[in-house]
Amino acid sequence: MPVSLSAISMFKIMFLAVEILFFSSILLAKASPSQSHFSKFSRSSGGLSHKEAILSLCAHTPHRATCESTLLSCSSSSSSTRGSDHLPHTLEGAFVQSVHSTVAKAQHARALAYNLTISHRQNADHDVHFPGRGVNDCLELLDDAIDMLDNVMMTSLSKPNDDDVHTWLSAALTNQETCLESLEKDKFQTEKNIMDVTAQNLSQYISNSLALFVLTMGSSSVSFASSSEHLPRDTESKSKEAKNANPNRRLLASDSSFPTWVPASERKLLEASVGEIEADAVVAQDGSGTHKSIGEAVKGLLLIGSLESSGTSTGGRSVIYVKAGTYHEYINIPTKQKNVMLIGDGVGKTIIVGNRNSDDGWTTYKSATVAAMGDGFIARDITFVNDAGPSKHQAVALRVGADKSVVHRCSIIGYQDTLYTHSKRQFYRETDIYGTVDFIFGNSAVVFQTCNIHPRKPPSSGLKNFVTAQGRSSPNQNTGISIHNCKIAAASDLFPVRSSYETYLGRPWQQYSRTIIMQSFMDDSINRAGWSPWSGGSALNTLYYGEYMNSGSGASTSGRVKWGGYHASLTSTQAEAFTVGGFISGNLWLPSTGVSFSSGLIG
C-alpha cells in the first residue's frame, strides 16, 4: 500500500530525530570518549579510519556485504568533499543507522505485499476459497514487524530498554522467517518468487541490526559463529533481578505489591472473579450478552476505539467475557488491538473450536482457531481446540505473537502443532496442553509454569510424539522454551499403550533451537534418549537443550542423547537464567496481569 502523507510526515520527523542523534553521537565521540556500552566501536577502532572501522565491525555481522552497504551508504549519497564525516562514529550510531535502513526496507516490503494481495483480488475473484495465500501472511507479519521496528527507533531516541529492544528485533526476524515458510505453500509462483526475495533481503537487514544490538549489550568480542552455550546475553543482570525479588516467593494475583504504575482499576479487575468484572463485551449464544459471537465482540471493540481509551473503567484493558458454550469460529486479534482479555466460564465450559489445517490448504500460521498478535493479550478459563484430527498434519488451536501475554487456567487441544508460541514474551500458568507432533512450537521467549503437558496417541503405529519444536534461528535471538515445575505425562488415550509409541521431549526445528525443562515431572512415556534429531540430524551441536532437577520415571538422564548442545545437568545458575525473572523479565510485567507465578527456581 502506498504510504500516506501522514505516514510520510511521521517518517520524516523520525528520520530528522535519528539524524540529530547520529551527528550528536559523532560530536560526543570526538569530544570525549564515553565509557558507555555504545562507545566500544570508537574506542576499539584504534588508528583505523572510520571506513576501515566500519568494515571491521561488519565482519562481526551475519551478512557482511549488506552491513557494509548499509553503513557506508550515507557517504556515497553525499558529496565527495564531505565523505567519511557522514559515517557512524560510534557503535550506537551504526546500530541506529542499521535500524533506520531496516525500517525503509520493511516499508517497501509491506507496500509490495499489499499490492500483490490487491492484484490477486482483482484478477482472481472467481477463486472464492483459496486459503493458502502466503503473501497474506507476509502482509500481516510485516505490519507487526514495522510496529516493532518503530518501537526500536523511538526507544533508541530515549532511554533504551535492552530487553524490549532485544525482544522486538528477535520477533521481527521471526516474522520474516514465518513469511518465507508461508510462501512455500503459495500457488502463485511469480508472486511467491518476488515476495520471497524481498523477505529474504529484509531478513538480512533485521539480522544485522540484531547483531549490532547484541554488540552494544556489553560484549567487545562477540562471535556470531555457533556457540554451545546460548545462554541469554544478559543472564547476569536478570539473575540478580530474580534474586533481589526473592525467587522462592510465590507471587499471587491477590498480592498487594503491584508496581506503582499499575492503575488501581486494573488491580481490581485482575483480582476479581468473573461475576465482579464489568466487561466491555459479553458474548452469549442465547442472546443474553452484547454479542452472539466472539469475533463480533473483538471487531466491535476495535471499531469503537475503546482499546485506545485510557478513561475506561478497566484502566485501558478491553475485557471480553465469553459465557459457557461451544463457539465454532476463528478469532484474530491483530497487532493494533492491544490489551485484550478473554475470560470464559472455565475449562470445558467455554470452548472455541476450529478445524483449519495444512492438508486443506491453510498455512500453519493461518490454521489457528484463535490468534492473538496484540500486545498484552490475556486468556483465562477457556478451552481452545483444533479438531481437524491427527491425520491432517499442521493444525493450530492457539497462536500467540503478543508481547507480555498470559494464558492462565486454559486448555489447548489438538494434535500436530497445537500451540504456536510464535514470538515475543509469553507466560502460561496452570494450563493443559494436548498434542502429538511438535505440539508446543514457535520462537517466542516463553515460560510454562505448573502446566500439564499431555502427549496423545498417534494416529497409527510407527509414528512418534514430539512435545516441543523450538524455532530459534539466530544465536542472537533471546528466545526459547522454558518448562518449569510442570507435569509431562501421557494423555488418557496414550497411557494404556504408551510402550508401543516413542515420545520425545523435543526436536530442533531450527539451528539454534533452545529448550529447557526444569523441576518438572516426567512419566515413563518419555523415551530414554529424551530428545530426537530433526530429519537430517542437523543442529545437534548448535542447539541448547538442558534439564535441571526433574523427577519421575522419565526424568533419568543416564540414557539421554550425547549431542554437543545437550546439557544433562544444568547448574542452578544456568537454570536460573530460564526462570520467569531470568528469561522473560516477568517480575517487571507479570504482577500487573494478576496471574500467580514463581519468579525463580523452586525451593
pLDDT for the residue 262: 44
Q: How far apart are CA 48 and CA 42, in angstroms?
A: 10
Residue 298 reports pLDDT greater than 60: yes
The confidence band for 17, taking pLDDT boundaries of 50, 70 and 90, is: very low
What does DSSP say about strands 425-429 and 480-484: parallel, antiparallel, or unpaired? unpaired
Which pLDDT band, with edges at 50, 70 and 90, does 23 fall under? Answer: very low
User: Any alpha helices (H) in 124-275, and if so which ranges?
Assistant: 134-156, 162-183, 189-216, 235-244, 264-271
pLDDT at 16 over 50: no
pLDDT (tens digit per residue) in 71-126: 998 655 444 444 445 567 788 889 999 999 999 999 999 999 999 988 766 555 54
pLDDT of residue 73: 81
Confidence check: pLDDT of 218 > 60: yes
Q: Which tops the pLDDT comparison, 266 or 342?
A: 342
User: Taking Cα atoms as reference points, which of 65, 205, 78 lies closest to residue 87?
Assistant: 78
Asked if 575 contacts 548 with a C-beta cutoff of 8 angstroms, the reply is: yes
pLDDT in tens, 222-271: 333 333 445 665 544 454 444 443 434 344 443 444 444 345 555 555 45
Whether residue 366 is predicted with pLDDT greater than 90 in this model: the reply is yes
What is the tens place of the pLDDT at every residue in 271-282? 567 777 889 999
**pTM for the complete prediction?**
0.86
Which positions ≥6 away from 98 have C-beta within 8 Å? 67, 70, 71, 205, 208, 209, 212
Question: pLDDT tens, 512-539?
Answer: 999 999 999 999 999 999 999 998 888 9
Q: In the prediction, which pLDDT does 266 show?
A: 55
Coil/strand/helix, residue 119: helix
DSSP assigned state of 423: S
Q: Which residues pair with 446 in a beta bridge?
A: 426, 481
Cell for 213?
A: 544490538
Q: Residue 153 — very low, low, confident or very high, per pLDDT cuts 50/70/90?
A: very high
Q: Is the pLDDT of residue 70 over 80?
A: yes
Q: What confidence tier does 471 reach under pLDDT thresholds 50, 70, 90?
A: very high
Model confidence band, residue 31 (pLDDT cutoffs 50, 70, 90): very low
Q: Which residue has the higher pLDDT, 44 or 130?
A: 130
pLDDT band at 47 (very low <50, low <70, confident <90, very high): low
Average pLDDT, the chain: 83
* Domains of the chain by start residue, with CATH: 90-123+130-219 (1.20.140.40), 276-304+316-400 (2.160.20.10), 436-602 (2.160.20.10)
Q: Which neighbouring-strand residues pair with 297?
A: none
User: Which are the catalytic amino acids?
Assistant: 438
Torsion of CA 254, 258, 264, 267, to 10 degrees: -40
**How do residues 480-514 score in pLDDT, each as one tens digit?**
999 999 999 999 999 999 999 999 999 999 999 99
- Number of residues written out for the chain: 603
Across 443-469, average pLDDT: 97
| Residues contacting residue 421 through CB under 8 Å, at least 6 positions apart | 400, 440, 441, 442, 443, 444, 446, 481
- Categorize the per-residue pLDDT at 57 as very low, low, confident or very high, splitting at 50, 70 and 90: very high
Distance CA 427, CA 523 (A): 24
User: What is the per-residue pLDDT for 159?
Assistant: 64
Q: pLDDT band for position 372 (50/70/90)?
A: very high
What would the grid cell of residue 223 be? 562471535
Tell me the three state secondary structure of residue 528: coil
- Does an H or E element contain 187, and which? none
pLDDT at 32 over 60: no
Q: Do residues 473 and 510 touch, judged by C-beta distance below 8 A? A: yes
Which three-class secondary structure state does DSSP give residue 225? Answer: coil
Percent of the chain with pLDDT over 90: 67
Tell me the average pLDDT across 14-39. 38
Close Cβ partners of 482 (under 8 Å, ≥ 6 residues apart)? 446, 447, 448, 515, 516, 518, 578, 579, 583
Of residues 439 and 305, which shows the higher confidence score?
439
What single string gives the DSSP state of each residue in 490-510?
--TTTGGGGGGSEEEEE--SS
pLDDT in tens, 160-185: 689 999 999 999 999 999 999 999 98
Q: What pLDDT is stored for residue 88 in this prediction?
A: 74
